[in-house]
Amino acid sequence: MEKYTVKLTKEERENLSSMTKRGKHAASKILHARILLATDEGDYADGESIKTDKAVAKLLDITGLTVQRVRKRLVDEGLEAALLRKKHTRTRPRKITGQEEAHLIAICCSSPPEGRSRWTLKLLSDRLVAMEVVESISPATVCRVLKKMN
């Protein structure tokens, strides 16, 4: 396991210190600032810096892996990246596009099938598949699309 050494400049320490004291930032940003201050081994570090990830984790009531990740991001990407949360990289494509949504709404506005007083989510999803608008779609997805539309 690699050891990522945190060495902050005097200005960085002052900025992080004021950030944790004011409380005007996001909780995750303040937590990451505390992690960096606690693990600082630079020339301007106070004598109270904690060197091990486990000790910092116990002090801040977080996992040791979080401490390690924040250290790594500081060394690899810089101070600003270490303070901010990482953007999600796993995005799924939408199951139903705008044109398919239009078909769904058109079906909703039409009269319900024979023997029914209204459309159900199951009937709507079955009709979309029968019309070959989509290959498959669950009633829950139909619900989400309609809920979005009000």
Mean pLDDT computed over 105-128 = 92
pLDDT at position 49 is 63
The pLDDT score that the predictor gives to residue 138 is 92
- CA distances 79 to 6, 82, 98, 103, 141, Å, are 10, 5, 41, 49, 41
- Give the span between the Cα atoms of 63 and 70, in whole angstroms: 11
Flag whether pLDDT at 23 surpasses 80. Answer: no
pLDDT recorded at residue 1: 54
29: closest CA among 89, 82, 87, 66? 82
- The pLDDT of residue 121 is 94
> Higher pLDDT residue, 20 or 47?
20
Cα–Cα distance for residue pair 53/66, rounded to 1 Å:
9
pLDDT (0 to 100) of residue 150:
59
| Six token digits for residue 126 | 């079955």
How confident is residue 123, by pLDDT bands cut at 50, 70 and 90? Answer: very high
State the average pLDDT over residues 25-37: 91
The pLDDT value recorded for residue 85 is 84
36-95 confidence digits (pLDDT tens): 998 888 777 776 666 688 888 998 999 999 999 999 999 999 989 899 888 878 888 888
b/e for 67-85, b at 16 or more Cβ within 10 A?
Answer: bbbbbebbeeeebeebbee
Tally of residues, the chain: 150
